[in-house]
Amino acid sequence: MENRVQSYPIGAAGGAAVAERNRVLRNTYWLLALSMVPTVLGAWVGLATGINTLFSPGIGLIVFLVGAFGFMFAIEKNKNSAAGVPLLLAFTFFMGVMLSRLLGFVLGMGNGASLVMMAFAGTGAIFLGMASLSSVIKRDLTNMGKFLFIGMIMLLVAMIANFFIQSGPLMITLSVLAIGIFSLFILHDLKRVQDGLETNYITATLGVYLSIYNVFSNLLALFGIFGGDD
C-alpha cells in the first residue's frame, strides 16, 4: 500500500510533463500556421510595391541580414513576454517582403505560378515527412543539432561568398545542401519539443519557421533554374 501511495505523485508528475510537452507542440503548430499569414502578406506587399527593386542586390543582402538577425535577437529576448508573438509575426512579415524579389523573378517566367505551387507543395511534403519522423523516432537527436548548426554556418558563409563570386554550379550545390540541412533542422527542432528539451513555443516556432522558409526559397530557386520557361 505504501509503495502504491508513493507512486501517485510520480505518475502525476509524468502526466503533467507529457501534457506540457503536448501544449508546447500544439502552440508551436498553431503559431507556425499563423506566421504564414504575415509572410504571404509581406510577399504580396513586396510584389505590389516593388520595394526590393528600389535598391541593389548588395544593399538588399545587408538589409536582409541586419533585419533578420535583429528580429531574431529581439524575439529571443522577449520570448517570455507579451511582445514575443507580435515580434515573431512582424519578423515573418519582413521575411515575406524579402522573399518577394525571388518570387517576382520566378513569377516573371511563363510557368512561374506553377513553379511557386510546386515549391509550396514540396515544402509541405518535407515538413509533413519530418514532423511524422519526429513523432516516431525514439533516439535522442541532440548531437545532430551541433553538426547541423556547424553546417548552417558554413552554408551561410559560402552563400555570402557566392554572392560575390556568382557561380551558377556553386549556387545549385548550396541550394541542394540548404534543403537537406534545413529539412533535418525541422526534424531536430520538433523532436526537441516532443522530448521536452524545448519548452518555449515561440523559440520552437522561430526555429521551424526559418527552416521552412529556407527549404521553400531554395526549392523555388532550383525550380526557377531548371524548370523555368522564358
Cα first-last separation, the chain: 78
Single out the residue of 73, 85, 82, 76 nearest to residue 38, CA to CA: 85
Mean predicted confidence (pLDDT) in 63-78: 95
Report the domain count for the chain.
Answer: 1
How far apart CA 139 and CA 121 sit, in angstroms, is 29
- The model's pTM: 0.90
- Whole-number Å distance between alpha carbons of 170 and 159: 9
pLDDT digits (tens, 9 = 90+) for 115-141: 999 999 999 999 999 999 998 988 888
Quickly list H helices, 50-141.
Answer: 57-77, 84-107, 112-136
pLDDT at 4: 43
| Amino acid found at 131 | A
Tell me the per-residue pLDDT of 1-36, one tens digit each, with 9 for 90 and over. 444 444 445 555 567 778 888 899 999 999 999 999
For residue 214, what are the domain limits? 2-227
Mean pLDDT value of segment 142-153: 91
Per the CB < 8 A criterion, the answer to whether 67 and 14 are in contact is no
**pLDDT band with cut points at 50, 70 and 90 for residue 230:** low
Report CA-CA distances (Å) from 51 to 47, 54, 57, 95, 158.
8, 5, 12, 13, 26
105-121 average pLDDT score: 93
pLDDT of residue 58: 85
